[in-house]
Amino acid sequence: MKNAATQGQFRRLSETGRDRVSFTLDGQLREALVGDTVMTAVLSQAWQLRVSEPGGDKRAGFCLMGACQDCWMLTESGERLRACTTFIVPGMRLRSKPKTPDEA
Amino acid sequence: MRPDLQPVIVGAGPAGIRAAETLVRHGLKPVVIDEAPRWGGQIYRQPPAQFQRTRQTLYGLDAKAAAAVLDTMTTLLPHIRYRNDTLVWNAEGGQLDLLHQGQTSTQPYSHLILCTGATDRVLPFPGWTTPGVFTLGGAQVALKYQGCAIGSRVVFVGTGPLLYLIAYQYAKAGAKVGAVLDTATLRDQIAALPDLLAAPGLLARGMYYVTWLRAHGVPLHGGIQALGTVGDGRVDAMRWRDSLGEHEVACDAIGFGHALRSETQLADILGCRFEFNVQQRAWLPVHDDAGRASVPGVYLAGDGAGIMGAQAAEWAGERAALALLADTGQASAPALRTRANKLERALGRTQRFRGGLERAFPFPPTWAKQASDSLVVCRCEGVTAGDLRASVAATGTTDINRLKALTRVGMGRCQGRMCGVAACEILAQCSGQPLQAVGRLRGQAPVKPIPFAMTCATSPSKPEAST
């Protein structure tokens, strides 16, 4: 399991002693901290929130205050959520890109 | 409280909280609706409950002001109806349409105080849609709300007092700040000094941030033009130009913004009259000195009614509430007069200070001219400056809403919040009109995306009884 300190876009500066939360990103088990937004949970260990197909345009959010609507991600069940205003919850299953044939 | 009276305040930042406090003090029970889970607005945004940093750490030199506002709301909670985590997505005929945790509901109102705040004013540069590029406000949210920096080495770009405040907050919190790149020049700032002295405390604070950054070895550059990011799919560096030539600074994240823009969609939907504000280069809902909008029963306060800053927002919120009390006969106007006059004088002084800020951190006047055709203006729909110019050349369009229909600029999920300023500037530039002549993007319900199933619901959920 990759832990919450894995390098990504965001750098945690403080309050890293919070309880841990497990979730999956593109089928991989990951860990975040209680109180993280989905955005923090993902960007603290990845460099983007989603890769749009076709074109491969990568996005990682922009305004962080629910205005730009750039940070949406999908869940395994196809639900769309706004990563900057949604908190990570245990067992959340997030996708940054469509499933590969192996996963489907 | 008169049974027919149901004041509703939208927004729980400094303006909304002071408005609520004033109404409660005079025996009213307002409903306070806020999109955030906890009160404070963006400026005094509170981290989720699991975080434990002190207010001194979170708000720095503003800790006292933040504490006063936040603690006021705590004491108000038993006396108001607080609907947090709730989006107001439409307003019509004395009723607000709400969305809370995926459920719609309605909220009737007799009077409305709109304290809708602001977002960053964004002037794009090449590469601004790359992961790792965020707004200045966004960079601050990451730090305050989540204890994170937006990258391991951050460069701040744009102009305005927030540029230095956030760079200071980052460096102070232990983040590496690669550089601060300001489109304004030192000469602008010196010329603005006389007006900035209208608020010596705020001026001193701004100078403190700059001095601190210099003393801690953070490179500060003025008079720059942002040339764009370096990197494929992520940020490796920021490029810029100044009088000495072209430069590059290594970084993995960029925070940028050119001051703020008001959130005015609800005022627009309610039919409030707008006027062009030359200083802010924006169409703003008009209001009198007390905050009364052109629509009876609607009041405006805080940055959503024109950018005035957090301190002025507190005064404007209180002033608007006093106007509501006088207009509804809940307090006699003469009794409120002394306080109202004092607030209006304070707001007048702030106006002068804001004028100084506009001179110190002017809007980069050549931005639209320098924007290349390949520059993405609208990040939702991928519309470029060249797309806008080609459409104008082909159709002779002079109006921003027409241009929206033709090119989809401003039609995406952000509804023009991020691209509207830039699109209007490009249209004005390529059609040879003054900015005010291109008009403004009209607000439309829902003011933010809501789940599709809800807009299709045939019968709205039952209105909740007012309390």
pLDDT at B120 over 90: yes
Confidence at B317, pLDDT banded by 50, 70, 90 = very high
What tens digit of pLDDT does each residue of A71-84 get?
Answer: 999 999 989 999 99
Task: Say if B380 falls within a structural domain.
Answer: yes
Alpha-carbon separation of residue B218 from A24, B158, B171, B390 (angstroms): 38, 16, 9, 42
> Exposed (0-12), middle (13-18) or buried (19+): which is B204, by Cβ within 10 Å?
exposed
Upstream peptide bond of A54 is cis (omega within 30 degrees of 0):
yes
Tell me the pLDDT of chain B averaged across its residues: 94
* Of the partner residues B138, B263, B412, the one whose CB lies closest to the CB of residue A62: B138
> Where residue A51 sits, what CATH number does that domain have?
3.10.20.440
Q: Which residues are bridge partners to B299 per DSSP?
A: B113, B292
**Contact criterion met (CB < 8 Å) for A35 and B47:** yes
**A81 domain residue, yes or no:** yes
What CATH number did the domain enclosing B384 receive? 1.10.10.1100
CB-CB contact of A28 with A2 (8 Å): yes
pLDDT at B113: 98
User: What pLDDT does A26 receive?
Assistant: 95
Judge whether B447 lies within some domain. no
The answer, yes or no, to whether residue B466 has pLDDT greater than 80, is no
Same domain, B85 and B163: no
**Peptide bond before residue B446 is cis, with ω within 30 degrees of 0:** yes
Q: Are B148 and B253 contained in the same domain?
A: yes
Q: Which chain A residues are within 8 Å of B417, Cβ to Cβ?
A: 63, 67-68
**B447 interaction partners in chain A (CB closer than 8 Å):** none
Contact between A11 and B233 using a beta-carbon 8 Å cutoff: no
Q: How many distinct structural domains can be found in chain B?
A: 3
Contact B196, B291 (CB under 8 A): no
B463 pLDDT band, cuts 50/70/90, is very low
Of B225, B258, B291, the residue at which a domain comes to its end is B258
Inter-chain touch A9–B233, beta carbons under 8 Å = no
| Complex ipTM more than 0.85, yes or no | yes
Instruction: Verify that B282 and B408 share a domain, yes or no.
Output: no
In angstroms, what CA-CA distances link A92 with A27, A32, A37, B96?
11, 11, 12, 32
| Set of chain A residues whose Cβ sits within 8 Å of the Cβ of B41 | none
Asked if B150 and A9 count as a contact pair (C-beta separation under 8 A), the reply is: yes
Q: Are A36 and B129 in contact (CB < 8 Å)? A: no
Do residue B169 and residue B227 come from a single domain? yes
Q: Rounded to a whole number, what is the distance in Å from the CA of B161 to chain A's nearest CA? A: 18
Residues B321 and B371 in one domain: no
pLDDT > 90? residue B225: yes
Q: What is the pLDDT of residue B190?
A: 92
Identity of residue A63: C
Instruction: Convert the pLDDT of each residue in B177-205 to its tens digit.
Output: 999 999 999 899 999 999 999 999 999 99
Residues B153 and B216 placed together within one structural domain of the fold: yes
Phi/psi at B188 (nearest 5 deg)? -55, -45
Other beta carbons less than 10 A from residue A17's beta carbon: 8
Contacts of A87 in chain B (CB under 8 A): 48
Nearest Cβ partner of A64 from B49, B142, B448?
B142
Cα distances (angstroms) measured from residue A4 to each of A1, A39, A46, B142: 10, 13, 11, 16
B111: in domain = yes
Judge whether residue B459 has pLDDT over 70.
no
CA distance, residue A56 to nearest chain B CA (Å) = 9
> Under an 8 A CB cutoff, do B414 and A67 touch?
yes
**Tens of pLDDT along chain A (104 residues)?**
444 445 899 999 999 999 999 999 999 999 999 999 999 999 999 999 999 766 778 999 999 999 999 999 999 998 999 999 999 999 999 999 877 777 76
CATH number of the structural domain spanning residue B181 = 3.50.50.60
* Together in a domain, B253 and B287: no
Establish if A103 touches chain B: CB-CB under 8 angstroms.
no
Query: For residue B458, what pLDDT band results from cuts at 50, 70 and 90?
Result: very low
Whether B87 and B107 map to the same domain: the answer is: yes
Cβ contact A15–B51 (<8 Å): yes
Shortest CA distance to A42 belongs to which of A17, A77, A75, A65? A75
Structural domains counted in chain A = 1
Per-residue pLDDT averaged across B240-255, rounded?
98
Task: Select from B120, B152, B173 the Cβ nearest to the Cβ of A14.
Answer: B173
Q: Is the pLDDT of residue B453 over 90?
A: no
Q: Which of B231, B258, B285 is the last residue of a domain?
A: B258
Among B241, B258, B275, residue at a domain's last position: B258
pTM comes to 0.95
Which residues 6+ apart lie within 8 Å of B284 measured at CB?
B262, B264, B274, B275, B276, B277, B305, B306
Which residues are CB-contacts of B75 (< 8 A; sequence separation ≥ 6)? none
* φ, ψ (nearest 5 deg) of residue B192: -85, -10
Closest Cβ opposite residue A15 in set B53, B132, B174: B53
Distance CA(B131)–CA(A102), nearest Å, equals 27
Write the pLDDT tens digit of every residue in B18-64.
Answer: 999 999 999 999 999 999 999 999 999 999 999 999 999 999 999 99
Q: In which domain, by residue range, is B389 found?
A: 367-438
On whether residue B443 sits in a domain, the answer given is no
**A13–B148 CB contact, under 8 Å:** yes
A55 touches chain B (CB under 8 A): no
User: In this structure, are residues B78 and B433 in contact, taking their beta carbons and an 8 Å threshold?
Assistant: no
Q: Dihedral of CA B195/B197/B201/B204: which sign?
A: positive
Supply the range of the domain harboring residue A36.
Answer: 20-95
Q: Judge whether B301 and B316 are in contact, CB under 8 Å.
A: yes
Residue with the larger pLDDT of the pair B417 and A97? B417
Residue B342 placed within a domain: no
